Amino acid sequence: MTSSKYETYYAPKYRKFIEGNFQVREWLKNRAVNTQKCYADNIRRFCEFANVAPEQFQNMDKKAARDIAWSFIETFSDKPTVAINVMAALKSFYRNHDGETLPFDSSKFGKHYVKPRARKASFEHVPTKIEVYQIIDMATSLRDRAMMLTLFQSGIRLNALLRLNYGHVREQLEKGTVPLHLKITDDLDTKLRGYDLPYYDTFVGKEAIDALKRFCEIRHKESTDDTPLFTSRNNNRVADTNVWFHIKRCMAHAGFDKRTMWVHSFRKAFKAELRKAPINEELSELLMGHRLKGSRESYMNRNDAVEELRKAYELADFSRDGKTKETQHEVEIQRLKAELTDERQKTEGVGRYLDQLQKQVERLQQQFTELRSRP
């Protein structure tokens, strides 16, 4: 028996299911490993329950597909969390075929509403900047250090970090560009598709750039632009479970309760530093890759906002030692200048309004004088 046959024979059920169904394989090819496992298992169990093949389910009339899907979801009535996940998988898989959506009425009082189980909110500790660097100092390899610094100083999600290629940073590292610009597309961060955003712009600070440069000098001497930026020992793209393991270990070694922090805590620490900086909320949300509220997104030209975002990013302090006194003074001066400009605009507006009132009074006085002079 060859190794490939051996691996196939002992592969998990979800892996065999993916490999044996083209539609499922195409649907899950760009998703994280954990998502593949969860979604594939849900679709596999549904197909066994309904005695249909995946392609048959996709070709069904949407109402018929909805009814048979709901009959399967109802078997998890005592497990609402599982039922919600199964519904999400079935809706996504059906929509992937031709864009049609299963017409579930899942509103609060709808026929297909699944009430989530109330559970006690877990306590999450969002680390401060000092605590983030304490965690990073526990890294046992240059790769792990570079990954954690990039997560913190750019605020990108883990799935985007692991999909970065050497070509995304090579040219800017060679030029010594600070801060380093990252254009995060929906191919890198698949969560953007849920926000209907094609991309967003963020940046990486000096400490992360220095770590990336040293790491690339060692690991990417002969790499091409298509080579994964962060690789394992066998030169494959690093798995998210591997990153979770190393970061959780660093958190424990730094003296923190690893049950209260996650990889996503680096992104929340990034947001906390943006709040401290003299940056308006709109630019802060753009750096986070969030969709702006209301009509502001429709009027925002993201193509022209890169330099403005760069200046905003430079106002935030992601460095270990903090900004120098001179830099802090510059930031304070810029903040005061912005406030002064706002006050001047308000004053100018009041002045224009008073001028208009004065002209109106003069005009009324002239009309009154003319009326009195008439016989």
pTM: 0.61
SS3 (DSSP) at 151: helix
Which one of 325, 350, 369 terminates a domain? 325
Model confidence pLDDT, tens digit, residues 107-137? 766 777 777 765 544 678 999 999 999 999 9
Please give the residue range of the domain that contains residue 151.
Answer: 129-325
What mean pLDDT is reported for the chain? 84
- CA–CA distance, 28 with 24 (Å, rounded to integer): 6
Nearest Cα neighbor of 32 from 231, 155, 144, 189 is: 189
CA 244 – CA 263 distance, rounded (Å): 7
Task: Give the residue-averaged pLDDT of 37-53.
Answer: 90
Q: Are residues 18 and 60 in the same domain?
A: yes
Lookup: tokens for 282: 């709109």
| Residues pairing with 185 in the sheet | 199
Contacts of 113 (CB under 8 A, 6+ apart): 105, 106, 107
Q: Is 181 helix (H, G, I), strand (E, B) or coil?
A: strand
Q: What is the CATH number of the domain that holds 187?
A: 1.10.443.10
User: Does residue 210 belong to any structural domain of this protein?
Assistant: yes
CB-side neighbour CA atoms (13 Å) of 17: 22
Q: What are phi and psi of 202, to 5 degrees?
A: -145, 180
pLDDT in tens, 209-248: 999 999 999 999 989 999 999 999 888 999 999 999 999 9
CA dist., res. 79 & res. 326, Å (int) = 58
Q: What gap in Å lies between CA 353 and CA 58, rounded to an integer?
A: 64
Q: What is the pLDDT of residues 32-43, one digit of tens each?
A: 778 888 888 999
Residue linked to tokens 């999600």? 157
Among all chains, which residue has been given the structure tokens 């039922």?
83
Condensed to tens digits (0 to 9), the pLDDT of residues 182-208 reads 999 999 998 888 778 889 999 999 999
Number of structural domains (the chain) is 2
Residue 77 lies in a domain: yes
Residue 338 counted as domain residue? no
Both 75 and 220 in a single domain?
A: no
Asked if the model's pLDDT at residue 9 lies above 60, the reply is no
